Structure 1
Amino acid sequence: MDTTWTVEGMTCGHCAASVREEIEEIPGVTSVEVDHASGAVVVTSEAPISRDDVAAAVAEAGYSLV
């Protein structure tokens, strides 16, 4: 299952890596693709994941989920 989110504030590859690493820790997530230029984050998971879980992971990385 793929879900696309938008993250605000990323400016470089390091930003994208930080967001990816935090989201990958959410149980059930199998892969994460992050485009820092557009802010797009595609999360592939075994089952639906909650917006709150994604928002918390993004906040832990220092960014905001739109």
Structure 2
Amino acid sequence: MGMLDKIKDMIKGHPDQARQGVEKGGDYVDKKTGGKYGGQVDSAQQKMNDQLGDRRPPDQGR
């Protein structure tokens, strides 16, 4: 079982909390890098949400 599968098992039934975690993690990286990699962070957030089953655009939750 891969790491992503373990994470999926842990968040099963808690999609909103997982989405918030992805957003907070991305916001933290943006803050620490001064927004220098904002596009890459948004892309990574979207890919993570896609893997977790969320198909919303990254800016919709902000």
Place the TM-score, normalised by the shorter chain, in its bin.
Answer: 0.3 to 0.5
Structure with larger Rg: 2
Instruction: With the length of structure 1 as denominator, give the TM-score of the two structures.
Output: 0.38
Higher RCO (C-alpha under 8 Å, 6+ residues apart): 1
Instruction: With the length of structure 2 as denominator, give the TM-score of the two structures.
Output: 0.39
- Which structure's residues are more often helix, by fraction? 2
- Which structure's residues are more often strand, by fraction? 1
